[in-house]
Amino acid sequence: MTALHQLSACDAVTQLAQRTLRSEDLVRACIEHIDAREPEVQAWAHLQRDVAIAHAKQLDAGAHRGLLHGLPIGVKDLLATSDMPATYGSPIYANYQPGFDAACVAVARQQGAVVLGKTVSTEFATFHPNQTRNPLRLTHTPGGSSSGSAAAVADSMVPLAIGTQTAGSLIRPASYCGIVAFKPSFGCVARAGAKPLSDTLDTVGAMARTVPDAALFAAAMSGRHTWLVKSLGDVLSRPLRVGICRTYEWNQAGADTQNVFANAEHALKNAPAFEVKDLQLPADFQTLAHAQTQVQLFEQAHNLAHEHIAHFAELSPRLQGILKSGKDITHAQYDAAQLHIAKCRLQLQAVFQDVDVLLAPSAQGEAPDNLVDTGDPVFCRIWTVLHTPAINVPAGLGAHGMPVGLQVVGPVGSDELTLSAAHAVHQHIA
């Protein structure tokens, strides 16, 4: 029998709606597991045990609230919460209490979610890590910047957690921790109340252990209830057309990613539900990751101006260097990068002309075996800047027995199909 804290979100919400499971029991089970594991994993920046239990009791005694009724969730510490601190992973905000909820948190609560606490973020969602470890092997990084959200979900502390992505902060940690992450099409989940880093890139998304769970969470936060996963037969009357897309960054893929990618390609080509073809991105995409990096650095430096000017000594040396790099990018260079990005976005329709989704790498390989390097988002940058939906699915293990994920990517606005496609792909390659 599955332990309560290990229930999938979809199974739990069904039982909660039928009143065969109490939210209080589920929340208590998650808290008990957190208390046992948190000293090692360190996924949480703040926990509110008593408040969560009291909220769960209220939900058990009242009417059904919504898609997330009674489900415990984690909230990345980059997001404002009315009843908990929001530290943004920095000592500058150690005592900051926003007094309001980020939009996505407010909607999740309205849909019946029970917020257990705030999950650890790297410093201002950049590359300097905080205390979180990979629960699968404690000497390895969980990735970043949604470190605590990925670790908490992977360790079954909560079934769902909110993350954010500006380059690869949902997809990469999900790959490293062996879970699912969904980065929706840009703007589909409201960003109000998240610490702004990059106005044209920041995206709020969902972390879960299955694609249907991630779809449930994102559907609730976005209000787009059609995102709930369906069978391919319910959304298509033909095989799913999958483009095998190694991207122009393929030379940075390690042997583990190359092997897992080849195995997944083989599995899909031998499954009648899929029509698989190799796909080469347009030549302009060769420098798209560089353009994304310039935009991110530039916008981060401007959005963190207060911290840079008033609290420079309290920033890590790494973030000090990142902000300097952003300030060194000229307005002309930024404008040129944005023009190149716009040119590439115009070519997306042609990319998807003969395929429904793409299969692409999520990360260079397994999680690095250290706690100071959160990994490189190189395989995520282009999909973030193109504003496409992207979903990491666990796809295999590397040479050292750690997870390696792959991305299912769809056209902008095709989140409904992309989620169902990712679920089907995951079932065939896992």
Active site residue 316: no
The span from the CA of 1 to the CA of 4, in Å, is 9
Name the active-site residue from 145, 147, 222, 420.
145
Strand partners, 163: 205
The span from the CA of 316 to the CA of 321, in Å, is 9
Active site residue 169: yes
Q: Which two tokens stand for residue 178?
A: 């062996």
Closest CA to 379 of 400, 402, 351, 358: 358
Under 8 Å between Cβ of 389 and 409:
yes
387 three-state secondary structure: coil
Q: Which two tokens stand for residue 50?
A: 């008593």
What Rg, from alpha-carbon coordinates, does the chain have? 20
CA angle 368, 374, 379 (to 5 degrees): 85
Sheet holding 240-244, edge to edge: 44-47, 114-119, 72-76, 160-165, 203-208, 180-183, 390-397, 403-409, 357-361, 240-244, 274-278
Name the active-site residue from 147, 169, 185, 198.
169
Strand partners, 207: 161, 181
Name the active-site residue from 23, 76, 146, 198.
76
Q: In this structure, which amino acid lies at residue 188?
A: C
Active site residue 198: no
Under 8 Å between Cβ of 123 and 321:
no
Under 8 Å between Cβ of 47 and 34:
yes
Asked whether the bond before 82 is cis by omega within 30 degrees of 0, the reply is no
> What does the DSSP assignment read for 220-256?
HHHS-GGGS---HHHH-SS-EEEEE---TTGGG--HH
Beta strands in 260-384 (DSSP E): 274-278, 357-361
Catalytic residues: 76, 145, 169
